[in-house]
Every structure is written in C-alpha cells, then in structure tokens.
Amino acid sequence: MKRMLLLGMALILTFSLAGCGGGDDDRIVVGPGLVGIDDSSNDTAPLLTVTYVVPPSVVLVTANILSDLASDGDIEFDPVLNTFFVTTGPPVVLFGEDSLNGNLPEFRAFLTFPLDGSTNQDIVPGDALIVSATLEVLVDQVSFAPIVPSFIDMVEYPVAGLSLSAADFNSVPLDFRTLEFFSSDQGQFVQIDVTPFMQLAQVPPALLDFQVRFLVDTGVGPLALSRPAPKAAVRTVRPAARAQDNMSMSRRSPSRSASTPVDKASRHR
C-alpha cells in the first residue's frame, strides 16, 4: 500500500513538472539533422584515396590526397533573410539544418582534392585509368537526428572561393549519390566509395580538382523532385586512427593560379 502511494505521488509530481515547462530549454529539438566533418589537421582532414593504372603499364598505383583547406568550406543559406554566408577553411565543415536557429538555416559542405600535386600531395595523371576511389571523412558531429539522409554531389566550384550567391549552393551536380550518416558515426572515420565520380573526373579533358558537396536530403521539395532515381553510395566505418606512412603531412595552398567563376574551363587538364 505504501509503495502504491509513493508511486502515485511520483506520477503526480512528474506531470506537474511537465505542465510548468514550455520554455525554450524544455523543447525537444528535431529536424533533418546537422553533420560536421572534421577538417582541422592532417591527421583528421578529408582524404581521397585513388588506385589507378597508366596504360600500357598494368602496375597499380595508389594516390593519397588530403583536401585543400583553403578551398574547403561551407555555405549557409538563411531562408528567412534570403542571404548566403560563406565560411572557408574552417576546422569543421557543416551540412544540414541548424534546428536551434529559428530561421532554420541550411548548410552545404564543399571539399576540394587537387589531382595535379599543386598542394604537395600525390598526383593522379590525366591519362590514368581509375580502379577504385574512396573518400574518407572524420565525423565531428551528428545533431538533431539519429539518422541524416544525405547527398554527396560531384561538383565544380572555383578554388578561389565559394560564391556568396546561389551559384555554388544550388549548382547542378555532375553526378551524385545518396548515403546516410548516423549518430553512431560521431568520432569515427566514414569511408565512401566515390569510384564513379573519379572515373567521371578522368573523362577528357580530365579535371585538375576532384570536388564534392555534401547536403541533407529532406526527400521533399524542389531538390528531391529535380533529381532522378537515386543511387546509394557504399560506405563503411573505420574507428582506428589514420595511418600516415604513405601520405605527405603538408597541406599547403595550391601553387597554381586560382580560378574564377568565369574560367572553369581552364581547370581542366
């Protein structure tokens, strides 16, 4: 009897406290999700690994290319203010929706991997035949949703900097795949198969830069309707620290002249 009385008092107290809430601190924040990719150091930076052959040789060559920090970044779009805000070279690049902001701004993340050795990384020759390619990212955060459906787009944008307009935010991708990020990915390396992207980048005239854009896939709206039936990217998770044995530890800015939005053709080999 005493136990039942105590249980009843506990239930009354619980409902009373719930009724006294209502402030911002009491609400449960949900949304499409917000994902952060670590770009802070050589040990954690996004890594493109490409295996290829250069005919007539049949010897497999592996190139490891860290992303170019100066060209990496994200674009934030505020749908209420109808404004874009660009951040370049941040320690964490973001994509998804910030559900803590009342305007619900959307972020899209951009990564560049120079293929010509201009950032003191390995080279992928323009006449190489691609056998496989993986993109590895260290997930810094997965917020507001346990599963974040996402797109990874193969794009082109100026290495001189992202545009403060809809140009780079909404540009039509050269190719794209779908994938999901999970809350369990936080603190883990996620490897994404980007072989089809890399093979496309080698179609003459081959691209100087391998560039991708990450964005959230809400499944509704103009973005979802404008895309054909999606293909899913193969992804794996690797918790171990990255081995640096076969990689350059330097990520310096490209030595070649930066492109501008009007001379994308010059960025082909």
pLDDT score at 251:
67
Residue 13 maps to a domain: no
pLDDT score at 21:
44
* Residues forming a β-bridge with 107: 76, 96
- Give the residue among 122, 113, 104 at the shortest CA–CA distance from 67: 113
Residue 23 maps to a domain: no
Residue 102 maps to a domain: yes
- The pair of structure tokens assigned to 98 is 């910030």
pLDDT score at 6:
34
Residue 239 maps to a domain: yes
- Give the residue among 174, 169, 170 at the shortest CA–CA distance from 156: 174
Residue 143 maps to a domain: yes
Q: How far apart are the first and last CA of the chain?
A: 83
Residue 4 maps to a domain: no
Residue 20 maps to a domain: no
- Number of domains the chain is built from: 1
pLDDT score at 22:
46
pLDDT, one tens digit for every residue, the chain (269 residues): 433 333 343 333 333 333 444 444 455 667 899 999 999 999 999 999 999 999 999 999 999 999 999 999 999 999 999 999 999 999 999 999 999 999 999 999 999 999 999 999 999 999 999 999 999 999 999 999 999 999 999 999 988 789 888 899 999 999 999 999 999 999 999 999 999 999 999 999 999 999 999 999 987 767 777 788 779 999 999 888 887 655 555 665 544 333 333 233 444 44
Residue 14 maps to a domain: no
CB proximity list for 68: less than 8 A, separation 6 or greater: 112, 113, 114, 119, 159, 209, 251, 253, 254
CB proximity list for 11: less than 8 A, separation 6 or greater: none
> Is the CA virtual torsion 10, 13, 19, 25 positive or negative?
negative
CA-to-CA distance for 75 and 227, rounded, in angstroms?
21
224, 154 Cβ separation under 8 angstroms: no
Domain that holds residue 201: 29-267
pLDDT score at 67:
96
